Structure 1
Amino acid sequence: MTTSPFLIATTAAAVTTGVAGGVFYAFSTFVMAGLDRTRPAEAITAMRGLNAEAQGNAPFLTLFVGSTLLALGVGLAAARRLSQPGAGFVLAGAVLGLVAFVVTMAVNVPLNNALDAVDPAGLSAAEALARWRAYLVPWTAWNHVRTVAPVIGSVLMVVGLQRG
């Protein structure tokens, strides 16, 4: 296999997409469960802090946005070379790599914004529990999608490179 810009970009997209999926995996497997072990008002406060940090954290944003841009570029390049061996796998992987960004913007960010508008100090214990559950259940379910899609996408991009 010769080194080409497509090979380099696809390798970078596969690695960064897989790493981004790994970040979401951590949230799906223990961060959210750990928050759920605290009192709901404390969980809301902690999650608001995590969300604020994520929005301004340069290393995370570089990884997340960078993997999205790489997947987009690789997907477009693969679409133009669909007649070549492995390009379909790369395209499918790139599309799955983009799923995390789409779900984030369409589902998780709006849920985060709604949670940010909640003042946990002004809630009764029952209200805090109801608000936390209304956030936790859909946020975590969609975060599982943000975990699985890019990880599978990463694998498909690697398979595509091996077949190409």
Structure 2
Amino acid sequence: MIIKEFLKDLTQIRNVEAISIYGIDNILIDSWTLPSINIKTVTDISFHYFQIFSVLDSKGQNFKEIVISHENGHIYARILPDLLFIVLVKSIADITLIRLIINVKITDLLNSRTFQKIRKNHSGKHLNFLDRKFLDDSEREYIKNLEI
């Protein structure tokens, strides 16, 4: 409902295959996919992005977005203070357009009543996967040894 209302332009880009919006607590807020894409796969990929952003954050890297190539296209992930956007796209050429649409529409989305209600309903119910205090000793040691 949020994607159709605020990010409809993203769904009209020919090479966009899936869009997911997650809260920082790994709760799926909204998603849109082409009929050929499995939302469970997108959810699994998104959880890995939470881990990637957590590792980068703990190393002092302040990344706001990542684009990773895969065998069928590209995955664009963008982190905001309360949200994670995941967009599966076939062509790297569309990343700039995706970035522009999100930049233009994000203020309206964050200030909308619909989003405020969702944020209120989900706040405090789940762990924040970006919070370093939830890392165990082996994860802390691994991050310490990383050369990013």
Using the size of structure 2 for normalisation, the TM-score is 0.27
Of Structure 1 and Structure 2, the greater strand share is in: 2
Of Structure 1 and Structure 2, the greater helix share is in: 1
With a CA cutoff of 8 Å and minimum separation of 6, indicate the structure with the bigger relative contact order: 1
Q: Rg: which structure is higher?
A: 1
